Chain A
Amino acid sequence: MSETQSQLVADVEKLAHTQVNDCYQCGKCTAGCPRGDVMDIGPTRLIRLVQTGEVLEAARAESVWQCVSCLTCSTRCPKSVNISGVIDALRQISVEKRISAKRFNKTVLFQKEFLRNIRRNGRTNELELVVAWKLLGLASDLNPLAALRDAQLGPKMFFRHKLHFMPGSPVKDKAVVRRIFDRCMAERKSETEE
C-alpha cells in the first residue's frame, strides 16, 4: 500500500470512527442491504477496497450514492464496523475529489442543496428546497420535462401533510447553526491541507 493510500484509509477511518481491518468479510452487511441487489459494489466489497487501500475506487462506486443510510449494515455487523459511516466518508471524499459516479450527479446536487438549505434556515424549508432543487436540475440538464416530473406528487403529498408550504416554527438562533456548519468546514479544510 502506498503512503497516499494509507493516508486515505486513515482519513476514512477517522471520518467513520471505525477500524476497517476489523472486518472479516462475512458478507452480512450486503446480505441485509435493502439496496444490495441494485448496487454495483456492495457494502462488503466497499469495505474490502478500503482495507486494501483502494479508497478512490470505492469512492467512485455508484453504490455510495445508492445507499439510503438505513444503518442496517452497521447495526448487524458482528465486528461492529460502522459500514454506513464508511459509506458516508466515501461520499464526502468523492465530492471533495470530484470523482462521484457520473450517473448520480443530480443526487450529489440534491444533497449539497439540502445542506445549504439547512445552513441558511437553521432547518429545512421544504418549499424553498423543492424550488431550488428543480431550478438547479433544470440548469444542469436543460430538460423541462424532468423538472416537472414530480409535479403531480406535490398536491398528493400536501394533502397527506408530507409537504408544508409554510416553513415550520422559525429557528431561534440561525447564526448558531451556521457557525456549526462553518466550523465543520474549516476543520475539514485544515485537516485535508495538512
Chain B
Amino acid sequence: MAKIGVFTCWCGENIARHIDVERVSKAIESLPGVHCSMNYKYMCSEPGQSLIIDQIKSLGLTGVVVASCSPHMHLKTFRAAAQLAGVNPYMVEMANIREQCSWVHADKEEATAKAIELIRISVEKLRHNRPLQPISVPITKKALVIGGGVAGIQAALDIAAAGHEVILVEKEPSVGGKMAGLSETFPTLDCSQCILTPRMVEVNQHPKIRLMTYSEVEKVEGYIGNFSVTIRQKARYVDVNKCTGCGTCWNGCPNKRIPNSFDFNLGNRTAIYIPFPQAVPARPVIDSSRCIHFKNGKCGICEKNCAAGAINFNDEDKLITEEVGAVVVATGYQLYSIGKEQSNPNLSGYGEYGYGKYKDVIDSLQFERLISASGPTGGEPKRPSDGRVPQKIVFIQCVGSRDNAKGVSYCSKICCMYTAKHTMLYKHKVHDGEAHVFYMDIRSGGKKYDEFVRRAIEQDGALYHRGRVSKITEEEIDGVRKLVVRGADTLTGKPVTVEADMVVLACAMAPTDGATALAQKLSVGYDEYGFLSESHPKLRPVETNSAGVFLCGACQGPKDIPESVAQASAAAAKVLVMFSQDHLTREPEIAHVDESLCAACCACVQACPYEAISIEEIVDRKGNHVKNTSRVNPGLCMGCGTCVAVCPSKSIDLEGFTEEEVYAEIESLLS
C-alpha cells in the first residue's frame, strides 16, 4: 500500500500570490494513497528539505510528490533529499504549479483548482511508479580524436596530458590541418608554422598518443564509454617504420609536375611526396593515381634509391579496430566552392567573379600560401598567371557568405580579420602596392581585433570600400592583363572601378567534405549546411546529443584559431570528466522490451534515432532457436520514447514513463 506525502511550496509569493496553498493542502489530504499533505514557504530550502526528510522517516512514506516549480529546476534536489531519507529517488514526482499554473493564471480560484488537479495527476502517477535503479556502464578510458588540425591536436594533447590514451586520426598524410598552411595569424601576426609545428611534433612523440595519419574512420559501433571504432589506414606504399624521411625518394621522383593540394594547386609536388617540408610524420606517401610505376610497372626510381628499403608497392589499405570510451570530432572546414560547379544543389557559385576562368582570381587560402614563407613562391606575392608582383590587389569579402541567393546565409566570421591581415602582409611586402577591400560590414569582435583592422586602414593604408562587387572581367590595358573589378562605394554613393593585378576572394567557410557522413556514423546531428550540432548552444557547447561524442573547432561552425583551441580544451575537459570515474551512471528512464511479447517486427529498430535497439536471438538450453526479440542497449538509449509509440504489440515501454503510469495520469484527470 502506497504511503504518499504531498509537499506544496509557496515559492515565496510566486505561487502563493495566485494559488491558495492552504486550501490545496487540505484538498489533497483526502486523495487515495496520500498519507500527509503539508506546505511550506520555500520547499527547496534547507528547512523545506528537512521537512520532507523528517516526514518520510517518521511516517514511513514510500513516495513523495512535490508541488512547486518545473522539474528542470529542482527535480534533482528533491530526488536527492528523498534518497537521503531512504526512499528510491524515482519515487519522487513533481507537480509544476509555478510555471504552468501560478505564473500564467490571474484568477486565484481557477488557479487553485488547477493546482489541485495537477497534484492529483502526479499522485495518481506515483501510485503506479516502480522504484528504478540507475544504470552503471563501464568506461574504456581511451579517446578517439578525429581530425589532426589545431583543434584535434589541442584536444589530443590535453587528454594525453591527463594520462589517458588517445588515438588521433587524420585523413591527410600529415597533421596540421588548415593552420599549417597559413602565413601569419591575426591579430598578432605571429607565424602560423612557428606556433603550430612544435605541437605537431609533440602529438607524434607523445607516449600516450597514437597518431594515425592518412587514415579515416570507417565504422563506429557501441555506445558511451564503449565505442568500437574501425579505422581505415590508407595504403601509403612507404613503410613508416623503415623510412628515415631522408628525402632521396621525392627528390629523385621524375614525376614532378603534380599540383600540390596543400598549396591549393598553386605549386607542384612529385608522385612520392610529403605535403610540406615540416610535415609530421615526415614520412612520404605515394600518390598511386599519378605514380608511373602504378601505370605501367616501370620507373621504380624511388625504390632503387631508398637506402632503407622502405618502399612497398604492394602495400594495401588496412582496417584497424580500436575500443574507445569517448570520441572528439574536430574535422574542421574547407572553403565554399566559388566556381560554377557546385556539389550542393542549393548553391550556385559566383560565375561573375571569374574564379577558375581567370588565373589571377584566387581564394583566400591560396593567397595564404602565396604570402607564406613555406609557400610555392617562398613568400613573395607573385600572381599565378605570369609571376609578376601585383601592384594592385582587390580583396572581396563575403563571397558566398551572407548570400541567400547563391551561397550560405551565415557570416563566416573570420574573413574580416584575415582580409585585414592579407592587406597588411601585402603592404609589408609591396610598399607602394595598393590594397583595395570591398566589404559589407566589418565584424571584428574579439580581443585586439578591431584595433587590428583599424591598423590595416590607418597605418598600412588599405583602401576599404563599402559595397559588394558586381563583376570581374579580364582586359588587356597597356599591354598588361588586368582584372577590371566593378564595385560600388555606398559611402560616397558612387560606382568604383579598380584595374587590379590580382583578386582575392574571401570565401565562406563550409564544413569539410565527409563531415556529414561521419556525423551519420556517430549519430550526431548537423544543420542544413553540414555543420555538426552541439547539444545546447550556450550550456552544452561541446557535447552532442549522442552521449560520449564531443565537438570542437570549425566542424561545429565558423571559428578562428583561438576559439577552436579553447573549444578543443573544453571538449578534452568533458572527456576527462567522463574518464574520472570507473563506471558511468546513467538515468534508468530508458526503453525496456518485454521479450515474451516482442514479435521482432523491427519497427522500433527502424524508428530509434540512436541505433540503440538491435534484434537478438533467444535460444533454449540446448542452443535451439526459440524466437527473435528486440533488445535495448542501455548505454545507447536516450529515453526519447519513439520506439514505444511505434510498437504494434505494446511490448516496449519507457521506464519512469510506462504506459500504465501515463494512462493513470490521464484517467485521473478524466474521472
Contact = CB atoms under 8 A, between A and B. Distances in A.
A21 B454 CA distance: 9
B491 A45 contact: yes
B458 A48 contact: no
B609 interface: no
Interface string A1-45: 100000000000000000101101100000000000000000011
Contacts of B493: 45
A25 B463 CA distance: 13
Interface string A27-68: 000000000000000001100110110100000000000000
A54 B492 contact: yes
B9 to A, nearest CB: 52
For chain B, the bracket of interface size reads: 10 to 19
B487 to A, nearest CB: 12
Given A19-B458, A21-B458, A22-B458, A49 B492 contact: yes
A45 B492 contact: yes
B457 A48 contact: no
B489 interface: yes
B655 interface: no
Contacts of A44: 491
B463 A1 contact: yes
Nearest to A22: B458
B501 interface: no
Interface residues of A, number: 13
A52 B489 contact: yes
A22 B461 CA distance: 10
Interface string B457-470: 11001010110000
Contacts of B489: 48, 52
B661 interface: no
Nearest to A27: B491
Chain A CB within 10 A, most for which of B457, B461, B489, B492: B492
B434 A1 contact: yes
B434 A21 contact: no
B458 A52 contact: no
Given A1-B434, A24-B454, A48 B492 contact: yes
A44 to B, nearest CB: 8
Chain B CB within 10 A, most for which of A19, A21, A44: A21
B491 A21 contact: no
A52 B454 contact: no
A52 B492 contact: yes
Contacts of A22: 454, 458
B391 to A, nearest CB: 12
A44 B489 CA distance: 14
Interface in B489-507: 489, 491-493, 496
Interface string A69-82: 00000000000000
Contacts of B465: 52
B491 A48 contact: yes
Contacts of B461: 21
Nearest to A19: B458
Interface string B494-532: 001000000000000000000000000000000000000
A54 B457 CA distance: 18
Interface in B440-473: 454, 457-458, 461, 463, 465-466
Chain A CB within 10 A, most for which of B457, B461, B463, B491: B491
A51 B461 CA distance: 10
A45 B492 CA distance: 6
Contacts of A45: 491-493
Given A49-B492, A52-B463, A52-B496, 13 more contacts: A1-B434, A1-B463, A19-B458, A21-B457, A22-B454, A24-B454, A25-B491, A45-B491, A45-B493, A48-B492, A52-B489, A52-B492, A54-B492
Interface of A: 1, 19, 21-22, 24-25, 44-45, 48-49, 51-52, 54
10 A-B pairs with the lowest CB-CB distances in the bound complex, closest first: A48-B491, A21-B458, A48-B492, A22-B458, A25-B491, A21-B457, A49-B492, A52-B492, A52-B489, A45-B492
24 contacts: A1-B434, A1-B463, A21-B457, A21-B458, A21-B461, A22-B454, A22-B458, A24-B454, A25-B466, A25-B491, A44-B491, A45-B491, A45-B492, A45-B493, A48-B489, A48-B491, A48-B492, A49-B492, A51-B463, A52-B463, A52-B465, A52-B489, A52-B492, A52-B496
